[in-house]
Structure 1
Amino acid sequence: MTSLTVDAVPRAPRLTGRRFGIGLSGLAVLLLGMDAAGKLFAPAMMIANSPPLGIVADTSFYQLLGGVLAICTAFYAWPRTSPLGAILLTGYLGGAVFAHLRVGSPLFGFTLFGVYLGVLVWAGLYLRDARVRALLGA
Structure 2
Amino acid sequence: MNELIPISRTALWTGRILSGVVIIFLLLDGAIKLIPLDVVIATSKQLGIPTHLAFTLGVLTLACTLLYAIPQTSVLGAILLTGYLGGAIYVHVLAGSPLFSHTLFSIYLGLMIWGGLYLRDERLRLIFPLRRV
Q: TM-score range by the shorter chain?
A: 0.7 to 0.9
Identity %: 47
- Identify which of 66, 74, 94 aligns with 2:66: 74
The reply to whether residue 24 of structure 1 matches residue 26 of structure 2 is: no
Q: Which runs of 4+ in 1 moved over 4 A?
A: none
Q: How does 1:55-94 map to 2 (within 5 A)?
A: 55-58=49-52, 61-94=53-86
Once the two structures are TM-superposed, the CA of residue 56 in structure 1 deviates from its matched residue by 1.3
Whole-angstrom distance in 2 between the partners of 1:103 and 1:125: 31
AA aligned to 1:24 is L
Whole-angstrom distance in 2 between the partners of 1:125 and 1:67: 22
Higher relative contact order (CA 8 A, sep 6+): 2
**Structure 2 stretches of 5 or more lacking a match?**
1-5
The reply to whether residue 117 of structure 1 matches residue 109 of structure 2 is: yes
CA RMSD after TM alignment? 1.7
**Structure 1 stretches of 5 or more lacking a match?**
1-11
AA aligned to 2:16 is I
CA distance change for structure 1 residues 13 and 114 in 2, over 3 Å: closer, same or farther? closer
- Identify which of 39, 48, 52 aligns with 1:54: 48
- TM-score, normalised to structure 2, is 0.87
Q: Per the alignment, in what secondary structure is the counterpart of residue 72 of structure 1? A: helix
Once the two structures are TM-superposed, the CA of residue 75 in structure 1 deviates from its matched residue by 0.4
Q: Does the aligned pair in 1 maintain the 2:7–2:120 contact within 8 Å?
A: no
Q: Does the aligned pair in 2 maintain the 1:43–1:63 contact within 8 Å?
A: no
Whole-angstrom distance in 1 between the partners of 2:38 and 2:11: 40
Figure out how many residues of one structure are paired with residues of the other and give that number: 125
Q: Per the alignment, in what secondary structure is the counterpart of residue 46 of structure 2? A: coil
